[in-house]
Chains A and B, each alone.
Chain A
Amino acid sequence: MTAQTLPAGDQAVAAPAIELANAARWYGNVVAVNDVSFSLGAGVTGLLGPNGAGKTTLLHMLAGFLAPSAGTVHVLGRSPHRDPSVYRQIGLVPERESVYAFLTGYEYVRFNARLQGMRNADSAARASIARVGLEDAADRAIGTYSKGMRQRVKVAGALVHDPQVLLLDEPFNGMDPRQRLSMMDLLVEMAGAGRTILFSSHILEEVERIGTEILVLVAGRLAASGDFRAIRALMTDRPHTITIRSSDDRRLATTLMADPAVFAVELKENALSVQTAHLSAFRRIIATAGRTAGVRLTEVVPADESLESVFDYLVRR
């Protein structure tokens, strides 16, 4: 049950759950997804990109609602387009907020279970509602739900049949931070049970918390894929920012300024912010600098190791 990383190492037992080969999709003259290839196994993967990058188009291709204009899209080894039986193994949470407003949360989830042909629809629906933590609101009409509750009931409906592949389009929209955290826990837990989960987002901290695996889509093209820290390390031409706390920041700053590997030093409240080109070189420098200046270092943290900066970089390149 090893969480497969991408690109898929092929000694794994099963074929990758999701596989795109040179997939492209265009609408008239507008290219929404351009020559994208990747494969995903079990685990949580974040699909990132600014608005209009083609995330929704990609998810719709995976969900079988769009045929690729070129290339191939396979989910669980099959082409999802025009093959309804594939939905037995796919759970889809679309981006649009609307859910049947006149149904109660429970009725909606049960409806999904029945449409999946489940015999134990009642208990499955109760269980699914419980997984997203909506028990208290289960018997209220969805029309009375808040945005976050609607998102959760959509997720409950999508995972009621325990799909092998779960596709979520902006699932955290409208959720409050606590709901976000518990939804993330749920996704990680499902991934732990061998499910393949792909969710899209344009908010980067969401992705950071859950999985380390990301796919970055920029203007329809796959700009990066893999572990986001690894991706960050590959981008050597962009300076790293490091936050340092020490017993005497001012003194340390003057020492660091003298070193050619340091681009800039900025004195902040109780901390130093240092910019450098090479992380490994800096590790040596900081150790010596601390000793020569006679300053005790209390904290050395790479400040910009956030997806935001990775993303910024990829978009601007």
Chain B
Amino acid sequence: MSGTPMTGSSMTGSLTAFPEIVRLTFRQQLGRRRTLLLVLLAALPPLLALIFRAFGEVDVSRFTDRVFDLVSMTIVLPLATVLFGTGAFGAENDEGTILYLLAKPISRWVIVAAKAFAAVALSLVLTVASVLVAGAIEVVPAGSAGVSATEAYVGAMVVGSLCYVLLFLTLSLFTRRALVLGIGYSLVWEGALSSLLPGIANLSVRQYALGVADSFYQLHQQAARLSPTTALTLSAILIVVALALATWRLMHFELSGSTD
């Protein structure tokens, strides 16, 4: 009777699948304790801004160095992105629920794109809001320098969220220790080693973000080592390569036969 397979090769499922996977990922990533931890993290720059105000400190460059650069850029951004980036597939992999996604007639790149979209969106909301609120409290009242400093770091958060999330998401598909590797990358590679070996700037998301921020707002930053165009080009390459690698990985996904 109905033994004939319906060999539909077009994948119409992909259109409806994208928003579904995005929504699923939002709900996965916003567990109660996670959200609390992340909100506390993101609230820190605004809190510091309040403390700066309370002590009557109004110097824009000092606030930029100490809060935007030290806290937002090197602590809040890497931690938020490593959590969202590795978490996008992390729980699915740990629990084995990734099978429910993969056993569907959806192009693998759609799955990667949806997961990445959700993780980037969450990271953007968190980091950009954090910088905006902190800036509005402390430096924006100080005039145009304060405005452009805030804008510059909003730009850095956008580029940084995109690049870091994709980097960590792809990493998590290749190794179980992606989280520690990601933290190590930001702390050792981008932090300690890049001051010893200047060439590392070309392979540092932090430098991409700072370079792009610098380009848009002409802010004085001795921290930015890459020219704006280089930073943008390298960011674009990183995003494309990460997406391609993640898709390749899902296409070649193999289960081990053992049942734990």
CB within 8 Å for A100 and B17 given contacts A56-B257, A60-B255: no
Q: A87-B103, A88-B105 are in contact. Are A117 and B254 (CB under 8 A)?
A: no
Q: With the chains together, A114 CA to B19 CA distance in Å?
A: 10
Asked whether any CB of chain A lies closer than 8 Å to the CB of B125, the reply is no
Distance from B13 Cβ to chain A, minimum over Cβ atoms (Å): 3
Given contacts A88-B6, A102-B27, A102-B28, contact A65 B102 (CB under 8 A): yes
Interface residues on chain B, number (Cβ under 8 Å): 43
On whether the beta carbons of B16 and A114 are closer than 8 Å, the reply is yes
Q: A85-B9, A86-B105 are in contact. Are A111 and B20 (CB under 8 A)?
A: yes
A87 CA to B17 CA, complexed, in Å: 14
B110: min CB distance to chain A, Å = 10
With A57-B257, A98-B95 known to touch, is A115 a contact of B101 (CB < 8 Å)? yes
Could you tell me the distance in whole angstroms from the C-beta of A24 to the nearest C-beta in chain B? 12
Residues of A in contact (CB 8 Å), total: 52
Check A84 against B3 for contact (C-beta < 8 Å): no
Assuming the A-B contacts A84-B11, A85-B11, are A54 and B257 also in contact, with contact meaning beta carbons closer than 8 angstroms in the complex?
yes
Given contacts A87-B104, A103-B27, contact A17 B3 (CB under 8 A): yes
- B257–A60 touching, CB < 8 Å: yes
Stretch at the interface among A89-97, A175-183, A208-216, A254-262: A89-97
- A-contact bits for B72-105, CB 8 A (1 contact / 0 none): 0000000000000000000000011101111111
A92 close to B103 (CB less than 8 A): yes
Whether A194 lies near B3 (C-beta < 8 A) is yes
Question: Chain A residues in contact with chain B, CB under 8 A?
Answer: 1, 12-15, 17, 25, 27, 32, 41-42, 54, 56-57, 60, 63-67, 76-78, 82, 84-90, 92, 94-96, 98-100, 102-103, 111-112, 114-118, 121, 157, 164, 193-194
**In the complex, the 4 A-B pairs of residues with the closest C-beta atoms, listed nearest first:** A14-B3, A117-B13, A76-B5, A57-B257
21 contacts between A and B (CB under 8 A): A14-B3, A27-B256, A27-B257, A41-B3, A42-B1, A54-B257, A56-B259, A60-B257, A65-B254, A65-B255, A77-B5, A84-B108, A88-B8, A99-B100, A100-B97, A103-B27, A115-B17, A115-B106, A117-B105, A164-B2, A194-B3
